[in-house]
Amino acid sequence: MSGDRRVRRTRRLVQQALVELILEKGYDAVTVTDIIARADVGRSTFYAHFTDKQDVLFSNLGELAFLHRLPAAREAEELFAFSRPMFEHVREQERLVRALLGRRSGGLVQARGEELLAAVVRDELVAAGARPSPGLDLLVVCVVGAFMGLMRAWVDGETGASPAELDAAFRAAVTPGVRVALRPDEAPRPPHAGAGSVPTHACAEPTAVGD
């Protein structure tokens, strides 16, 4: 079904070459000429399979589609069930993800990842009882921003934390805020919130900062 063996071979070589080169020079610095040289593939052959550099990048994106195969959070008890498996998965596919999601990538995949993740987070929150609203969307943006921030920092080697620690940090940072948002009866929050005060104590959660 995958057609010719030569085709598979060529595509694989090109994709691998791009990943290697991104890790070495950063996405922007990689040229098509570099890629075909590293992949040992003719120029015309490259353009027979891909339109440009970005096309190769996205063709590698199937790996990230595993988001959809995550345990359905509606059935799980905890929110953001994607977090831990995600960090674990990233550690396994380290090279690829480092190339695709790190600051060395062009930020293109980053944006795509944020979109996918935003959909997941939004679904989870709605399933948990949040009412769809502009305010919810902003919350989703914050949650996704926090997660992707951690991911970037990790992938770029700015922290040596383990997946478990990252997962814990993520949850510790966002869960309290989300809990508050999920309780519309306690602190009725019309979208017209003033910049003032937020309900002080949500509920003490584990993981103090300085351990």
Q: Binders of DNA among 45-104, rule CB under 7 A? A: 45, 47-49, 51-53
- Residue 150: name its binding partner from a copy of itself, DNA, none (Cβ under 5 to 8 Å by kind): a copy of itself
Among 44, 62, 134, 209, binds DNA (CB under 7 A): 44
Cβ proximity to DNA, 7 vs 164, nearer residue: 7
Q: Look at the chain and count its residues.
A: 211
- Both structure tokens of 16: 């691998």
Cβ proximity to a copy of itself, 94 vs 158, nearer residue: 158
Residue 166, judged by CB atoms within 10 A of its CB (0-12, 13-18, 19+), counts as buried
- Residue 42: name its binding partner from a copy of itself, DNA, none (Cβ under 5 to 8 Å by kind): DNA
Among 24, 25, 28, 43, binds DNA (CB under 7 A): 43
Taking CB under 8 A as the rule, does residue 138 contact a copy of itself? yes
- Residue 106: name its binding partner from DNA, a copy of itself, none (Cβ under 5 to 8 Å by kind): a copy of itself
From residue 201, give the alpha-carbon distance in Å to each of 27, 34, 42, 197: 44, 55, 63, 11
Compute the Cα dihedral for 11, 28, 94, 121 and give only its sign: negative
Identify which of 175, 167, 146, 171 has the alpha carbon closest to the alpha carbon of residue 84: 167
CA 141 – CA 94 distance, rounded (Å): 25
Q: How far is the CB of 192 from a copy of itself (least distance, A)?
A: 7
Identify which of 3, 4, 37, 5 has the alpha carbon closest to the alpha carbon of residue 18: 37
- Residue 1: name its binding partner from a copy of itself, DNA, none (Cβ under 5 to 8 Å by kind): none
Q: How far is the CB of 8 from DNA (least distance, A)?
A: 8
Q: Which stretches of the chain bind DNA, using CB under 7 A? A: 3-7, 9-10, 31-34, 40-45, 47-49, 51-53
